[in-house]
Each structure stands twice: as structure tokens, then as C-alpha cells.
A = this chain, B = another copy of it.
Amino acid sequence: MCTSGQGNHSHPIAVDLADTAEPSAAPSRELIEELVAANHILFDQGVVDAFGHISVRHETRPDRFLLARNMAPSRVAAEDIVEFTLEGEAVNAGGRKVYLERFIHAEIFRKRPDVMAVVHSHSHSIVPLSIVKGMKLRAVFHMAGFVGQGAPVFEIREAGGDATDLLISNNHLGRALAEHFDGHDIVLMRGHGSTVVGASIKQAVYRAVYAELNARYQLQAMQLGEVTYLTEGESRACVAHIEAQVQRPWDMWLEQARARRA
């Protein structure tokens, strides 16, 4: 294909969006600062590059969520956080461009009331696994019990046809993706990446980091022979016990993120 001369088409990734809903009670300063730190940590840990995003459900308005405006995660500051409705409409963008793929977050928050945070990324070992036919990401080590017995792969062609840009660019595609989170906390997206959810920002960040490592280890092991995966019981026990420790890596990552930006 020869495309150098092509311009923009129907839907740009960065969107100019009129604010269409009432602003809620302001989220706490702590929540916003944690979301900002999560943006930096996801970059530092190699989960996102200039693309990818993390959201958190509003603490007093469960029908709202917070997400940075359209920008690289490593550069996000408190004033870049925008509030959205579960329709993906911006509340206080004030004319700033927002992420096209906010529908990922909106529809998962709608589908899964227990989910408090969502990370969407294209990390280095997840993408290759997402494009191998018949391949399933499965939990292979204790840090990634949440991956469980086989993460679903979202094939956008089923909901959007075979000529999309692979992006979750509207509510319809967002809902089709969110359906895959029924009984799962991570979903791979073919030729695109993955989305993981958690009961807190820290848990979602932890899972995004260790999902990548699980994919890397699974990739390497499958080249050598038959793999022993975690059992259902092991997966559940690992989630229950090891994810109770998310504060430990978070404290370290946060300290590193601050030192790098000092």
C-alpha cells in the first residue's frame, strides 16, 4: 500500500468534543494524583508508550469516570484529567481533545459495577499473542493468577467488519468489547493489545504489568514444549493472596516515577 499522501478520514483519534453533561462533585485530590501517578508508572514499566490509557471510576458518582485528555501518559498532570459519562461524553473537557477510545472505559464501567479502574495498552508480548490463531493467554505464574484459564480475544471483525482501524471508536464497539469481560478481568484485542480491569487503580496497574510478563513467559515456554498452566484453584488463590500485596510494587514504582520526574 502507498499512503503517504493520505489525509485524515472520518474519525480522528483525538476528538474535539463539546461538554454535554453536568460536572459532578469534584473527585478528591488523592484520586486524581493517583491516576496521574498511574499514567507515569505505566510508561516507566513499559506497558504503554505514547499510546494507551488508564481510567478510574469517580468515587462519589459511579456513573462517571476520569481519564486524561488526549496525550502521552508519561506527560499527564492533574490538570489534564477529564470527567466522562458512561456514554463516553466529556463533562469538563473545555474544548481539549480527548481519546477516541474512551468508549473502552465507558462501556466496561457500565457492564461491570465492580470494576473501579481500566487500563488499555499495547504491551510488547501481548500484541504477538493476540495475533496467533487459536492462541489463548493463560496464567502461567503466581503473579498473574487474574489471567485465569484463558483470556478471551476480541476480534473486532465480528462487531465492526474487516476494514476498521481496529480502534474502539464508538459505543457499539465498546459494548462488543465489554461483553468479553463477563467472567474475565483481561481481554486481548487482536492486532491491537489488551484491556485489564481492577478494583482499584493500583490493582489495574499491577495487572497490566504482570499480564505483560505472563505473556512473555508463555511465549518463551511454548517454544520449548508443553506448558503447565495454573489450575483454576491456583489462579483464584494467587489473586486472593498475592494481589493483596499491590501496595508493595506501587510504592516502589511511585518512588521511581517521582525520582525520574524530579
Contacts and interface: CB of A to CB of B under 8 A. Distances in A.
Interface of A: 1-9, 11-14, 49-51, 70-72, 74-75, 112, 114-116, 122, 124-125, 127-129, 131-135, 140-143, 145-146, 148-149, 162-167, 181-185, 190-193, 197-199, 203, 213, 216-245, 248-249, 251-253, 255
A162 B230 CA distance: 9
Contact of A225 (B133, B213, B255): B133
Contacts of A167: 142, 241-242
Give the 7 A-B CB pairs with smallest separation, nearest first. Answer: A163-B233, A50-B249, A1-B148, A165-B237, A128-B220, A142-B166, A72-B252
Contact of A224 (B128, B193, B228): B128
Summarize A's interface: helix, strand, loop or mixed: loop
A4 B252 contact: no
A214 to B, nearest CB: 9
A218 B143 CA distance: 24
Contacts of A142: 165-167, 191-192
B143 A4 contact: no
A131 B127 contact: no
Contacts of A165: 142, 145, 234, 237-238, 240-242
A199 to B, nearest CB: 4
A104 to B, nearest CB: 14
Contacts of A132: 221, 224-228
